[in-house]
Amino acid sequence: MLGVLALWLAGAPLAHAAATAAEPAVLTVIAFNAFVRATPDNNGAVMGAVFKGDQVTVLGRNVQSSWLLVDLPKFGSNTWVAAIIGKLSVDVATVPVVASPAGAVAPAAAAPAKAGNPAVQDAKIAQSAIFLRAAPATDSQRMQLMAKGAPVTAVGRSADNLWIQVTAKGSKDLLWVLARFVELPGVVTALPQIGTAKVAVAATPAAAATPAAAVAAAPAPLQPRPLRLPPK
């Protein structure tokens, strides 16, 4: 009996260690927002963004533990965030070190083909009470309120991958929604980049030159005439 108890006590720490090792590392974002980059440095290509309250699974870290490789398949397979933006559920030392070639960008997974335009993706709204907007900006005009699960067609993305251009079911209007509120079958970077036209500011016509006021020439002073005396 004592032998069995001793074996159980000896195995308990090992079982606990195994359970701890199996625990997935999760990063809870505490920053208001942060970019997701293709490489573990501030010069890496922007692949997307995470926002306060988001929870992402951590797959690895760089040697300095300053960047974390996270599981965000909609942004690609090589997605990094700065460790300082969130709170990690485990000791960072237990996260495996992952090498990432400088400047390497993982190829985006191909989106499901759609007749006539293979870059277009059938998607749906991932959160309730989301507005589609006229432009890729939070202060742009609200155009249409969408419910969670509402189908949309994703046709493009902004240059920073933070916004997706969509059309709602039964509409041909091209509107914008934050990428974090859209559930895509593929990745954001597989969508074509849509340039937003800048509003041209009409040049202010030059003011007509005011003609200089004519200055009247002063009359020449009268010259005194010589006095002529009558002959004597």
Report the pLDDT value the prediction gives residue 73, as an integer from 0 to 100: 85
Asked whether the beta carbons of 78 and 42 are under 8 A apart, the reply is no
Digit-by-digit pLDDT tens for the chain (232 residues) are: 555 545 555 555 555 544 445 578 999 998 888 888 889 988 888 888 888 899 999 999 999 889 999 998 888 878 999 998 899 999 999 999 988 654 444 444 444 445 455 568 889 998 888 899 999 999 999 999 999 899 999 999 998 889 999 999 888 899 999 998 998 887 888 888 887 544 333 344 444 444 544 444 555 665 666 656 666 5
Asked whether the beta carbons of 94 and 68 are under 8 A apart, the reply is no
CA distance 79 to 35: 10
Residue 180 DSSP code: G
Asked whether the beta carbons of 48 and 179 are under 8 A apart, the reply is yes
The answer as to whether 70 is a domain residue is yes
Report the pLDDT value the prediction gives residue 152, as an integer from 0 to 100: 93
Report the pLDDT value the prediction gives residue 111, as an integer from 0 to 100: 43
The answer as to whether 144 is a domain residue is yes
Residues 134 and 90 in one domain: no
The answer as to whether 197 is a domain residue is no
Asked whether the beta carbons of 51 and 33 are under 8 A apart, the reply is yes
Cα–Cα nearest to 45, from 193, 160, 202, 212: 160
Cα–Cα nearest to 40, from 130, 101, 91: 101
Report the pLDDT value the prediction gives residue 100, as an integer from 0 to 100: 65
Cα–Cα nearest to 107, from 193, 190, 192, 191: 190
Asked whether the beta carbons of 128 and 148 are under 8 A apart, the reply is yes
The answer as to whether 103 is a domain residue is no
CATH number for 158: 2.30.30.40
Residues 81 and 127 in one domain: no
- Read off the pTM: 0.50
Residue 189, SS3? Answer: helix
Residues 32 and 85 in one domain: yes
Residues 27 and 87 in one domain: yes
How many domains does the chain divide into?
2
Residues 180 and 126 in one domain: yes
Residue 1, SS3? Answer: coil
CA distance 143 to 152: 14
Report the pLDDT value the prediction gives residue 203, as an integer from 0 to 100: 42
Report the pLDDT value the prediction gives residue 112, as an integer from 0 to 100: 46
Order of strands, sheet of 33-37, starting from the edge strand that comes earlier in the sequence: 46-51, 33-37, 79-82, 67-70, 55-61, 25-29, 86-88
The answer as to whether 30 is a domain residue is yes
The residue segments making up the domain with residue 168 are: 121-190
| Rounded to 5°, angle at Cα 54 from 53 and 59 | 135
The answer as to whether 79 is a domain residue is yes
Which long-range contacts (C-beta less than 8 Å, at least 24 apart) are formed by 13-20?
Answer: 20/90, 20/94
- Number of residues that make up the chain: 232
Residues 85 and 133 in one domain: no
Residues 27 and 89 in one domain: yes
The answer as to whether 15 is a domain residue is no
The answer as to whether 205 is a domain residue is no
